A = this chain, B = another copy of it.
């Protein structure tokens, strides 16, 4: 019997401490500390949340960040991570890190990759180098990284695809999931499985059932927010989240806008990651209590007010819309830094607020107030 099957690695006990409808407030104990859920994970694909030093992330209240095993494997490479004793020490971040396996990114390479039962062969589009990743190798990479939460290596089929392809792909993802569990050697690295099945509820149900048999520390929904219509995404989450084990954290990968987060928390999701606050921040878009704010707009040229009067972040406390606009239109790096910092703070506070509302038992009112605010400037 394998160590995985003995359950020896079940090191991420998840405790639900409050419910409000399907929504949950919980605690997830990881090697680098406890994470309060629901939680949003800022994205640091290459071992840096773009523009934010670790202390700035901590200052915003980030509890856990997301990185990407595939990208780190390509750049800087495993030898560099090994030399540092893992990603935490390399990037100076002492709180938990979750790593996506990178399956999603490799599958999006399309012409550059070849898939079989063993794994995937692909070419790095920058260097042209050929690489081969298998479930075992992906776990090994994440153990070198020292991820608090490793993600299983899954296939995320491009939609639309035939039901037959989806069936075959899900079956392979399940077999790969079992191989990932077998491959684990570090007791301090939790491992989550990934449920696929597109927007087909019955397929999702079958995959949830298959994966729930396996001793994962948590379960993610993959293959959503990849181009399907927003209502289909929300409906899928509404149907699938309650099927997932209640005693494990539920992670919705790659989602989403502030509204998406609240609507999915309401439907039972515990964990999120998304590039929106960082990427849109670099493009001059702020998420605020009044909705979306485009900093380059001429109406902010002389506006000495803060970006968001309701916000307590360092950017809103010290800088005006007019100054941020000046920085942004002149391509000053500090503009991207300050706007990113605001956006990350905004996302984290929004989720903290949802958690408090769950514990109070009035999540619906909290969501209603936030959505009414966003409507003032146009929501998302």
Instruction: State the A residues within 8 Å of B (CB).
Output: 46-48, 50-54, 75-76, 79-80, 83-84, 90-92, 301-302, 304, 318-320, 322-323, 325-327, 329-330, 332-334, 336-338
Contact = CB atoms under 8 A, between A and B. Distances in A.
22 contacts: A46-B326, A46-B327, A46-B332, A48-B327, A48-B332, A48-B334, A53-B337, A75-B326, A75-B330, A76-B301, A76-B322, A76-B325, A79-B302, A80-B302, A83-B302, A84-B304, A90-B326, A92-B319, A92-B323, A333-B333, A333-B336, A333-B337
A73 to B, nearest CB: 13
**Taking chain A's interface residues, is the majority helix, strand, or loop, or is none over half, making it mixed?**
helix
Contacts of A79: 302
**Identical chains bound together, number:** 2
Contacts of A318: 54, 92
A332 B76 CA distance: 12
A75 B338 CA distance: 19
Nearest to A282: B333
A54 B334 CA distance: 10
Contacts of A75: 326, 329-330
Given A76-B325, A90-B320, 12 more contacts: A46-B327, A48-B334, A51-B337, A53-B337, A54-B318, A75-B329, A83-B322, A84-B320, A90-B323, A90-B326, A92-B323, A333-B337
